[in-house]
């Protein structure tokens, strides 16, 4: 079974998250306290690998400001926390068909939900009971005379009731009854759920706080277990490591010599360390050692008596070993995660990973290594959902997997702030620029990184320019017209004043650079400075004004006003009295010809529930909805003509 959608509600700061599409990889991007962790924990609660997390705590997790009205709002049944949708894979369908035949299902999507005060889950499956019963009757070779007692019953429960009413049964009748009696409550529907439940992945939740302890007192851990005291997350990860190594707590307690156990721990540590260094580019001179020994009287309690497991990190470059806890937090987290994942996979098999702010303490390049690990090692075998606010953990080449998480605040009629809770969206367009910041950063970083290997670099103002150029180039290419060559790596520079430092920075790389930049009157001196530096020929600096035919222009001014207005309306869903027209656009800021400035002025006139105008939102909408450039209308053709003019200018430098 594969998870395809998750919908959280009534949990912490989530009132209604919106249905969230889940893919093989799903990245949740949002600010601190936006609700990312709440969504992951709500999802984990459906079927956690942690046996202690078997129900949602109503008092702890129901939205606090609404708790006093709980009994009134949910008088007939408990509040639902998570609704998930799963797509049946061929092996799942085959497993059901083996019992109930090929006609027992009339769909391949099942729903699994869970509410407060519920330890199990509630299922909805597309099960055709009549077809399933018919298959059972045929499989056990009941004759027409045998079937007479069944009459018109269509469920296995009713069939069992009818067969049990007989004082004596034929062999086929008894075989059918025996088979039905093995089903939970004699229900074919429930037995189908049991078949699928056994095949459903569990959720492994792992946060950036979960790091393996540097040392473990076996006696204390045993005492905690006997007295049912909670085990710290760090000790639990260490215990996972020992179990992965092939030893148990009882082995550690009862052993009279440590040599065999040390050998197992050493082998396990080496195996996991090898995995790390396939994806750890920070320092490849490190080795993990886990040693079992007796506590010494001079050690601090509880490590001064009984068997103690200690992890140390050896740096062969410096010839020194240090306690595990004294290494960088990022390395400890990476090792701890691999330990937990290896043990969970060993004990639970098919799991879906829920990673809360993974690699938060890792250096940016190490976060990229971790992201690569997700896609190369985890995603081919397991679904993985992770949350982040780091641009390095956002996959720039897989933006379709990104979901934005935002704690949405609205103003009421008295202009007071009111939270409507966490909303999760898949269109990567939010009302909060801070939410989108990691996405912008990821895109900019990805493009900039390409400069290391790309010799042809086109500098533009910002990320939105990149999207506009990509969308226009695709439309022109599809029409057989001049478009932007794939040989160009497009990089956001931040404007004219950033172009000169950029060129100087990469001058020694012998890059082929062209510039397409916005221009306003106040930037004339910056342009003169760029020309005087003589690092770029003047014709390589293409101003938007030259393409748009205006004294001031942004790349948005390549658009015919009518098409630009249509794009803005579609992006922000402007209708009715709020719908933008060319006349309204002109009237909003008559002192400028720049369409962007006019749009910004118009949005300041809209009611406060509308967001500020963003350069990025329309460009992303255009990229996701290329039909905007379809058709032969004059506004579309005039717009494409200007982009084509720019591409022709740029093409001269290849």
- Per-residue pLDDT band for 335 (boundaries 50, 70, 90) equals confident
Predicted confidence band at 81 (pLDDT cuts at 50, 70, 90)? very high
Tens digits of residue pLDDT in 635-644: 999 999 999 9
Find out whether 595 and 557 touch, Cβ atoms under 8 Å: yes
pLDDT in tens, 533-560: 777 788 888 999 999 999 999 999 999 9
Per the CB < 8 A criterion, the answer to whether 395 and 378 are in contact is no
Assess contact for 446 and 478: CB atoms under 8 A. no
pLDDT interval class at 327 (50, 70, 90): low
Express each pLDDT in 117-138 by its tens digit.
999 999 999 999 999 999 999 9
Segment 442-455 shows an average pLDDT of 55
Q: Between the CA of residue 26 and those of 19, 250, 286, 349, what are the distances in Å? A: 14, 40, 31, 21
Residue 449 has pLDDT above 60, yes or no: no
The DSSP call for residue 593 is -
C-alpha to C-alpha distance for 290 and 309, rounded to whole angstroms: 7
Judged against a pLDDT cut of 70, whether residue 444 lies above it is answered with no
What whole-number distance in Å separates Cα of residue 653 and Cα of residue 459?
Answer: 13
Question: pLDDT of 347-390, one tens digit each?
Answer: 778 899 999 999 887 877 788 888 888 998 899 999 999 999 88
- What is the rounded CA–CA span in Å between residue 304 and residue 46? 41
Q: Are 229 and 206 in contact (CB under 8 A)?
A: no
Cα–Cα distance list, 157 to 166, 306, 323 (Å): 15, 58, 62
The residue-averaged pLDDT of 582-609 equals: 92
DSSP code string of 471-496: HHHHHHHHTTS----TTPEEEE--SH
Q: Under a CB-based contact definition with an 8 Å cutoff, are residues 445 and 391 in contact?
A: yes
* pLDDT reading at 448 higher than 60: no
Query: In this prediction, what percent of the chain has a pLDDT beyond 90?
Result: 49
Torsion over CA: 581, 586, 592, 597 (sign)? negative
How far is Cα 593 from Cα 495, in angstroms, rounded to an integer?
A: 19
Mean pLDDT estimate for the chain? 86
Cβ-contact 333, 362 below 8 angstroms = yes
Q: What is the mean pLDDT of residues 623-642?
A: 92
What is d(CA 274, CA 370) in angstroms, rounded to the nearest whole number? 15
How does pLDDT run across 478-535, given as a tens digit for each residue? 999 999 998 888 888 777 777 777 776 665 556 788 889 888 877 777 777 777 777 7
What pLDDT, on a 0 to 100 scale, did the predictor assign at position 431?
54
Ordered by start, the domain boundaries in the chain are 209-348, 454-654
Most confident of 214-223, 240-249, 379-388, 411-420: 379-388
pLDDT band at 285 (very low <50, low <70, confident <90, very high): low
**The pLDDT of residue 453:** 44
> Quick one: pLDDT at residue 264?
76
Q: Does position 452 have pLDDT exceeding 50, yes or no? A: no
């Amino acid at each position: 079974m594969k998870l395809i959608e998750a919908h959280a509600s009534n949990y912490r700061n989530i009132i209604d998250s919106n249905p969230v599409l889940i893919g093989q990889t799903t990245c949740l991007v949002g600010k601190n306290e936006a609700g990312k962790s709440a969504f992951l924990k709500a999802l984990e609660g459906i079927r956690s690998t942690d046996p202690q997390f078997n129900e949602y705590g109503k008092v702890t997790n129901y939205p606090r400001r609404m708790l006093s009205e709980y009994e009134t709002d949910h008088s007939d049944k408990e509040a639902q926390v998570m609704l998930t949708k799963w797509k049946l894979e061929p092996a799942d369908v085959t497993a059901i068909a083996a019992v109930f035949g090929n006609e027992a299902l009339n769909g391949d999507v099942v729903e699994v939900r869970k509410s407060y005060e519920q330890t199990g889950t509630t299922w909805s499956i597309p099960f055709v009971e009549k077809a399933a019963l018919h298959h059972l009757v045929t499989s056990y070779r009941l004759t027409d005379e045998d079937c007479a007692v069944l009459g018109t019953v269509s469920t296995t429960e009713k069939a069992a009731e009818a067969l049990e009413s007989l004082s004596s049964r034929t062999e086929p009748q008894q075989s059918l009854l025996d088979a039905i009696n093995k089903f939970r409550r004699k229900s074919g529907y429930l037995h189908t759920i049991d078949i699928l439940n056994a095949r459903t992945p569990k959720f492994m939740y792992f946060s950036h706080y979960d790091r393996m302890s540097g040392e473990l007192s076996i006696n204390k851990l045993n005492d905690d277990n006997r007295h049912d005291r909670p085990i710290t997350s760090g000790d639990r990860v260490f215990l996972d490591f020992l179990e992965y190594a092939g030893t148990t707590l009882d082995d550690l307690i009862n052993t009279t010599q440590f040599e065999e156990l040390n050998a197992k721990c050493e082998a396990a540590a080496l195996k996991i360390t090898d995995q790390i260094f396939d994806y750890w580019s920070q320092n490849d001179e490190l080795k993990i050692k886990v040693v079992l020994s007796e506590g010494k009287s001079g050690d601090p309690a509880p490590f001064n008596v009984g068997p103690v497991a200690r992890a140390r990190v050896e740096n062969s470059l410096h010839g020194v070993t240090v306690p595990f806890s004294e290494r960088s937090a990022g390395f400890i987290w990476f090792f701890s995660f691999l330990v937990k994942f290896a043990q969970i996979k060993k004990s639970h098999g098919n799991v879906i990973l829920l990673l809360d702010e993974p690699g938060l303490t890792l250096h940016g390049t190490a976060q990229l290594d971790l992201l690569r690990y997700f896609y190369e090692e985890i995603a081919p075998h397991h679904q993985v959902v992770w949350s982040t606010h780091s641009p390095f953990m956002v996959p720039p080449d897989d933006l379709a997997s990104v979901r934005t998480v935002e704690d949405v605040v609205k103003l009421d009629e008295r202009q007071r702030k009111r939270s409507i809770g966490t909303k999760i969206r898949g269109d990567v367009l939010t009302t909060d620029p801070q939410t989108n910041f990691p996405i912008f950063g990821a895109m900019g970083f990805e493009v900039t990184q390409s400069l290391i290997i790309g010799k042809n670099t086109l500098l533009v103002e910002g990320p939105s320019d990149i999207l506009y150029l990509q969308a226009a180039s695709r439309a022109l290419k599809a029409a057989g017209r001049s478009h932007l060559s794939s040989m160009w790596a497009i990089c956001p520079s931040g404007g004219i004043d950033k172009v000169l430092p950029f060129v100087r920075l990469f001058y020694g790389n012998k890059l082929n650079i062209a510039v397409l930049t916005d221009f306003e009157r106040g930037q004339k001196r910056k342009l003169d400075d760029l020309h005087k530096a003589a690092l770029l020929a003047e014709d390589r600096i293409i101003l938007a004004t030259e393409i748009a035919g205006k004294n001031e222009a942004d790349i948005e001014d390549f658009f015919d006003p009518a098409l630009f207005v249509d794009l803005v309306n579609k992006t922000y869903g402007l209708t009715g009295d709020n719908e933008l027209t060319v006349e309204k656009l002109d009237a909003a800021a008559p002192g400028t010809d720049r369409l962007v400035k006019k749009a910004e002025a118009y949005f300041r006139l809209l009611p406060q529930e509308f967001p500020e105008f963003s350069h990025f939102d329309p460009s992303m909408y255009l990229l996701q909805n290329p039909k905007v450039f379809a058709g032969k209308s004059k506004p579309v053709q005039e717009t494409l003509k200007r982009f084509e003019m720019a591409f022709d200018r740029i093409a001269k430098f290849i």
